[in-house]
Amino acid sequence: MPLPHPATATAATTPLTVSAPRPSEEAVADIRLIVTDMDGTLLDDAKRIPDGLWSLLTELRHRDVLFCPASGRQYATLAKEFADAGQGMVFIAENGTYVVRDGVELSSDPLDPSVAARIVTTTRGLRAEGVDVGAVVCGKRSAYVERTDEAFLAEVRKYYTRLQPVPDATAVDDDEILKVALFDFGPVERTTAPALHPFTSTHQVVVSGEHWVDIMNVTADKGTAVRRLQHDLGITPAQTMVFGDYLNDLEMLDTAEWSFAMANAHPAIIDRARHIAPSNNDNGVLRTITRVLDLPPM
C-alpha cells in the first residue's frame, strides 16, 4: 500500500511511522529540499550525527536534493559539524536569523543592540533573584557571555563554537547581534520564559529546548528562512520535507507538505506536523528520508 500524499493527510489520521511500507514507484515524492532541526531531531541525545548521514548526503546530491540544517546553533558550529560535506549546503542558523551558503550570507535579521542590552539586564535581575540562568548574546562573528563558570560554559560550548567572555555583554558594539539566548539550569518554561513576557509584544520569545529560550525579532524564525529559500530556489511546499522536535520548529513545519514531528517531540510539534517520524535516538530523520524517497537503508 503506498503512503498517502501529504496534501490529503493530517497528523491525527495518517501518521507516517517506521512500520509504514515503502511507497510504490509511482508514489515516490518529488522532494527537492530537506530541512532538519539538529538537537533532538537529527542528533541523538548524546549530540551525535548519525553515521549514515554522510553517504545519504552523497546520494541526495546525486538526486539534486538540497539538505539544509536549521538550528538555534551558531553558524560557525554548524559549519564545523559539516566541514567535510558542507559545500553547497544552506545553513539556517540562530533560529532563522542568519542564513549562509558556502560562507556567503543569504539573509539575516539583526536585533537592535538596545533590545539585546535590555535582555541582558533582565537576565542579571533573574540571577540576583536566585535563578540559575545566563545570557548568550549571539552575533554573526561570535557569541558573547558575561557568565564564565565552567558549568555554564560547558552547556554553551555545545552550541557556540566561537564564544567570547566579556565583562559587559550590554556593550558589544563591533558585531551584528542576531538574537539573545538564555540558558536556565532549571525548566525554562517555568522560570525564565515568564520573566521575558514584557518582550513578547514586540519580539519573538521562543522556547527552543527544555533549558533554552531565545529572543529575536518578530520577523525572524525558521519558517521565514525556509520560505525565502523556497522562493529563491523555485521549490514548492510539496517538494519540501522538514523535521523538528521543539517549539522553535513550529513555523518551519508549516512550510512543507512533508512535515515530520519526531516521536520524542514536544506535544505542540506533534499536533502541528502532518506525520510522525521515529525518535532522534532511533535515527528517525535518516530512516524517514530513505523510506519516503525509496532509497536503500543507509
Element (H, E) at 75: helix 75-81
Matching residue, cell 517520524: 277
Distance between CA atoms of 132 and 152, rounded to whole angstroms?
A: 9
Could you give the residue numbers annotated as active site? 37
Give backbone dihedrals phi and psi of 276, rounded to 5 degrees, phi first. -115, 130
Contacts of 115 (CB under 8 A, 6+ apart): 199, 203, 215
Contacts of 51 (CB under 8 A, 6+ apart): none
Distance between CA atoms of 33 and 237, rounded to whole angstroms?
A: 9
| Cell output for 126 | 533573574
Distance between CA atoms of 25 and 78, rounded to whole angstroms?
A: 34
Task: Return the number of other C-beta atoms located less than 10 Å from residue 53's C-beta.
Answer: 20
